[in-house]
Structure 1
Amino acid sequence: MDINYAKFLPLSEATFYVLAALREPLHGYALMQKVEAMSEGNVVIGPGTLYGAFAALEKQGLIEKLSEVERRKTYGLTDKGQLVLAEQVRRLAVMVRNGQFALSHLNAGEAA
């Protein structure tokens, strides 16, 4: 699958966690709880934000509605969503490596 990542990346922190949480199908409330737990409380998504994100991500083809039972909609990650998430993780890994390098050189300079 050929994807133009530029139109999807970088992901916002909330979108990143939504996609990461959807490695297993989840409904809205479970996803809100999972995002908060995965982010160690750094990202808290309310219902309005979440359902807006669901609509946008579904329109972009990154997630899909898998089922709907009594207003409880379960979503999952599409192949395209998985590729976009993987590219974001690759980009973040580069940032982390460079940040660690910069900090290690700052700390080495302070010790001198």
Structure 2
Amino acid sequence: MPKSENSPMSEAMYYVLLSLANPLHGYAVMDAVKKVSNGRINMGPGTLYGILKRLLKENLINLEEVDGTRKVYHINAVGHEALNKEFERLSTLVHDGKSYLGEGRSND
């Protein structure tokens, strides 16, 4: 079982997995992350390739094909499962925060 299923993902890792719903090469992943995060995350190649290496090692993505010097990556079923678990974890955090801030702090 991948480590990322047992512990929270970094924000960058989460967005890389989201961006790999469609097969992309490395530099296209950087553009997709920037787009899906509404410009909040602008990662460099070192960060991206470190994350891709970790995602491959944890079997969350596949190397689909090599087109010349470009490697194309795609999320796999294990990655989808880990991404869904992280989404649920984040949703729970937001729900708990809304409950606390909406109810528990209104009289402060």
TM-score, with length taken from structure 1: 0.87
* Aligned residue in 1 for 2:32: 34
What letter is aligned with 2:64?
A: L
Cα deviations by residue, 1:22-69 (Å, 9 ceiling, x for unpaired):
111111111101111111222111111111111111011001110111
Residue identity (%): 38
What letter is aligned with 1:41?
A: G
Question: Which consecutive segments of 4 or more residues in structure 1 shift more than 2 A?
Answer: none
* Aligned residue in 2 for 1:55: 53
66, 69, 76: which one aligns with 1:68: 66
Q: Compare CA radii of gyration and give the structure with the larger one.
A: 1
* Aligned residue in 2 for 1:86: 84
Q: Secondary structure at the residue paired with 1:44?
A: coil
TM-score, with length taken from structure 2: 0.90
What letter is aligned with 1:66?
A: E
Q: Secondary structure at the residue paired with 2:107?
A: helix
Q: Which runs of 5+ in 1 are unaligned?
A: none
How many residue pairs match? The answer is 105
* Aligned residue in 2 for 1:98: 96
How many Å separate the matches in 2 of 1:95 and 1:57?
Answer: 24
How many Å separate the matches in 2 of 1:12 and 1:29?
Answer: 19
